[in-house]
Structure 1
Amino acid sequence: MDKTKKIWEKAKKTASSKEQMKSTLTKAGDKLKRLAANSNELQELKSKLEILMRMFQSHLAGEYRAFPFSTILLIVFALIYFITPIDLIPDFIPALGFTDDASVVFLIIKKLNRDIQKFHLWEEEQWEQAD
């Protein structure tokens, strides 16, 4: 629990600074690129993180502002948890290393389901307008 509490405090601090949010997004993107895509579980984790990162990027760019602060805070928490090197199960252990990261990300995805659906609708509108 100590790790979770520390990350929560860091997420609150990060969510109040645009520069820290950009840095977190960059670090999460870098780690996401390093994920081995050789298992369905890692593919699903990667997919869920990509959704959170698109939501976060759109918010930072000022393109999509419909998220309440609590949603941004949960996204920041998920990304910080993902990039934090100290895990219950170290990331370098094959097949199990990302289990705790995945658990946290999937829990947050479930909690943000309504915001994610709204965001997807908004993305579709943007793609249609671009055509």
Structure 2
Amino acid sequence: MNRGKIAGIWDKVQALWKFVQDPDAPWGGKAIAIAALIYLISPIDAVPDFIPGLGLADDAGIILLAISKLGSDLKKYLNR
């Protein structure tokens, strides 16, 4: 997954995963992070991944939306 266009947001994907694993993270935030990560790995997308240029754009958009919704809760996981 750390290749191609997704490589630009790979650190954010890893931060979401660390957030999910933290027992002290709020459950509402964990739900957002889990949903985004499931969408990223799911073979069922709004735009299929095999479409050049657009295939991973929806995945990246969902990850970035989750990052923006989690805001300051996620900052400490981005620098680990």
Do Structure 1 and Structure 2 share a fold, with TM-score over 0.5? yes
Indicate the residue corresponding to 1:114 in structure 2. 72
Question: Equivalent residue of 2:60, what SS?
Answer: helix
**2:30 corresponds to 1:72:** yes
Match of 1:54 among 11, 14, 18: 18
Structure 1: unaligned runs, 5 residues or longer: 1-34, 124-131
Could you state the TM-score of these two structures normalised by the residue count of structure 2? 0.80
Q: CA deviation at 1:118?
A: 4.1
Q: CA deviation at 1:85?
A: 0.8
Question: Where does the alignment leave 5 or more consecutive residues of structure 2 unmatched?
Answer: none
Larger gyration radius, structure 1 or structure 2: 1
Aligned identity (percent) is: 35
User: Cα distance 1:69–1:85, how it changes in 2: closer, same or farther (>3 A)?
Assistant: same
Give per-residue Cα distances to partners, 1:4-31, cap 9 Å, x unaligned: xxxxxxxxxxxxxxxxxxxxxxxxxxxx
Rounded Cα–Cα distance in structure 1 between residues aligned with 2:11 and 2:37? 13
Letter in 1 for 2:17: M
TM normalised by structure 1 equals 0.53
Larger proportion of helix: 1
Moved over 3 A (4+): 118-121
Note closer, same or farther for the CA distance 1:47–1:94 as it changes in structure 2 (3 Å cut).
Answer: farther
Deviation track 1:20-56 (CA, whole Å, cap 9, x = no partner) reads xxxxxxxxxxxxxxx26234xx222222111111222
Look up the equivalent residue of 2:11 and give its one-letter code.
Answer: S
Instruction: Tell me what 2:52 maps to.
Output: 94
